[in-house]
Amino acid sequence: MPDHAVTGRARNLAPQSDLSSEGRGEALRYARTKAFVRHARAIDAILTHGNAEGLGTPEQMRQLNDARRSFETVRPHGWRDVEAAYVKHPERVREASNGRLQRAIQALQHETVLRTSPQHRAARFVDDWQKLKLASQRQYQVGDMTGYNATRQAMGDMAKSPQRGPQLESILAGRKLELGIRLETGRSLGGELAFTHCIDLGRGRGLGI
Handedness of CA 192, 126, 80, 113 (dihedral sign): negative
pTM of this prediction exceeds 0.85: no
The Cα 186–Cα 152 span in angstroms is 23
pLDDT digits (tens, 9 = 90+) for 49-86: 877 666 788 999 999 999 999 999 999 999 999 999 99
Dump strand ranges (E) for the chain: none
Please report, for residues 38, 48, 73, 114, 153, the alpha-carbon distance to residue 52 in angstroms, rounded to integers and kept in the order given: 23, 10, 31, 30, 25
What is the average pLDDT across 191-208?
60
pLDDT at 42: 96
Which range has the worst mean pLDDT, 94-108, 141-155, 169-183, 193-207? 193-207
DSSP designation for 14? P
Do 33 and 101 contact (CB within 8 A), yes or no? yes
pLDDT digits (tens, 9 = 90+) for 91-119: 999 999 999 999 999 999 999 988 888 88
pLDDT digits (tens, 9 = 90+) for 8-59: 444 443 444 455 777 788 899 999 999 999 999 999 999 988 776 667 889 9
CB-facing half-sphere around the CA of 108: CA atoms within 13 A: 22
The Cα 183–Cα 25 span in angstroms is 53
Handedness of CA 65, 124, 149, 163 (dihedral sign): positive
Domain ranges of the chain: 3-116, 118-207
Report the mean per-residue pLDDT for the chain: 82
Please report, for residues 23, 72, 199, 209, the alpha-carbon distance to residue 206 in angstroms, rounded to integers and kept in the order given: 63, 43, 10, 8
